[in-house]
């Protein structure tokens, strides 16, 4: 298996622009997670899906962030409008089960908002 | 709630040992350990389930004391390849909940 795939790997944008991050989980994994990583806060869970259904989005910082999973092989995280404080590395991960399941992380998208 | 890791950073010479601790204020069902090398994604190392078990992975092992709500990661005879940031992720005692990751411990192994 190719593992979790994320695109783009790097994104530089200007404040106010819309940013869309994409993720393809490992085939057969029922859970998909979106994380944000910063030096200050570490790895923060933003939202997770089970069988394409959003289960907990309490980690989404504000209404500017939204996530979708239209099918089992694709998810997006959108930021609109983007702000400089959104600059971070965004990881997508997938797993077979929730708590005790091993999470497999994608390579991440490094986002810089100017 | 986010588990607390200590130390925040450690520098070792090749061959030295290190211990990284992970403490939670809540009862835990499982503890996961991941390692992240610079510029890469976190990679799973091991999971410890409630029951106070100890696990090993080559020269890296870990223990889980559920009563103290603590886990420790032991790195023995460190190698240059061990350098990276180590994260613990904790699952609440209710089970079947998403992991909460600590802020990480940066380990640097020098020759």
**pLDDT tens by residue, A77-97:** 999 999 999 999 999 999 998
Of B40, B44, B100, which has the smallest distance from its Cβ to A103's Cβ? B44
Torsion of CA B94, B97, B102, B107, to 10 degrees: 100
Residue showing tokens 């100890």: B54
Smallest Cα distance from A17 to chain B, Å: 25
Q: Looking at residues A43-56, what average pLDDT do you find?
A: 96
User: What region, left, alpha or beta, does residue B67 occupy, with left being phi > 0 and alpha being psi -120 to 50 degrees?
Assistant: alpha
Which DSSP symbol is given to A99?
S
- Assess whether pLDDT exceeds 70 at residue A1: no
A98·B30 Cβ contact <8 A: no
* φ, ψ dihedrals at B82, nearest 5°: -80, -10
A42·B102 Cβ contact <8 A: yes
Q: Minimal Cα distance from A32: which residue of B?
A: B98
pLDDT of residue A106: 97
pLDDT of residue B1: 83
What's the token pair of residue A98?
């929730």
pLDDT of residue B97: 85
User: Tell me: the pLDDT tens digits for B54-91?
Assistant: 666 678 999 998 888 999 999 999 999 999 999 999 99
Of A41, A48, A99, which has the smallest distance from its Cβ to B95's Cβ? A99
Q: Looking at residues A38-43, what average pLDDT do you find?
A: 91
Chain B residues whose CB is inside 8 A of the A45 CB are 98-101
Which 3 state secondary structure label does DSSP give A8?
Answer: coil
Chain B residues whose CB is inside 8 A of the A41 CB are 103
Where in chain A does DSSP place strands (E)? 5-7, 10-13, 19-24, 31-38, 42-50, 53-56, 65-71, 74-79, 88-95, 104-105, 109-113
- Assess whether pLDDT exceeds 70 at residue B52: no
The β-bridge relationship of strands A42-50 and A31-38 is antiparallel
Q: How far apart are CA A54 and CA A45, in angstroms?
A: 13
pLDDT of residue A17: 97
The DSSP line for B36-95 is E-TTS--EEEEEEETTT-EEEETTEEEEEETTTTEEEEEE-S--GGG-EEEEEEEEETTS
Q: How far apart are CA B64 and CA A28, in angstroms?
A: 30
What's the token pair of residue B20?
């990284």
Q: Given CA atoms B35, A46, A96, A105 in this order, what sign does their dihedral have?
A: negative
pLDDT of residue B54: 66
pLDDT of residue B93: 79
Of B44, B47, B96, which has the smallest distance from its Cβ to A98's Cβ? B96
Number of cross-chain residue pairs from A and B with Cβ atoms under 8 Å apart: 54
Say what percent of chain B tops pLDDT 90.
76
Of B41, B99, B104, which has the smallest distance from its Cβ to A42's Cβ? B104
Smallest Cα distance from B16 to chain A, Å: 27
Adjacent-strand bridge partners of A24: A5
Chain B residues whose CB is inside 8 A of the A104 CB are 44
Adjacent-strand bridge partners of A73: none
Smallest Cα distance from A80 to chain B, Å: 25
């Amino acid at each position: 298996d190719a593992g979790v795939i994320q695109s783009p790997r790097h994104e530089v944008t200007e404040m106010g622009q819309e940013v869309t991050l994409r993720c393809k989980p490992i085939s057969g994994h029922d859970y998909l997670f979106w994380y944000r990583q910063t030096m200050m806060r570490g790895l923060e869970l933003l939202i997770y899906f089970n069988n394409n259904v959003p289960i907990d989005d309490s980690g989404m910082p504000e209404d500017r962030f939204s996530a979708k999973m239209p099918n089992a092989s694709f998810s997006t995280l959108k930021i609109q409008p983007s702000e400089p404080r959104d600059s971070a590395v965004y990881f997508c991960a997938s797993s077979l089960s929730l708590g005790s399941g091993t999470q497999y992380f994608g390579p991440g998208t490094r986002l810089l908002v100017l | 709630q986010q588990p607390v890791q200590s130390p925040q950073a450690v520098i070792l010479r090749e061959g030295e040992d290190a211990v990284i601790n992970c403490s939670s204020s809540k009862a835990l069902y499982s503890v996961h350990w991941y390692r992240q090398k610079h510029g890469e994604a976190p990679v799973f190392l091991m999971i410890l389930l409630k029951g106070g078990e100890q696990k090993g992975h080559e020269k890296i092992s870990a223990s889980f004391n559920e009563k103290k709500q603590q886990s420790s990661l032991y790195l023995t005879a460190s190698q240059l390849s061990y350098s990276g940031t180590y994260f613990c992720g904790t699952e609440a005692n209710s089970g079947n909940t998403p992991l909460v990751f600590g802020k990480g411990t940066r380990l640097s192994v020098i020759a």
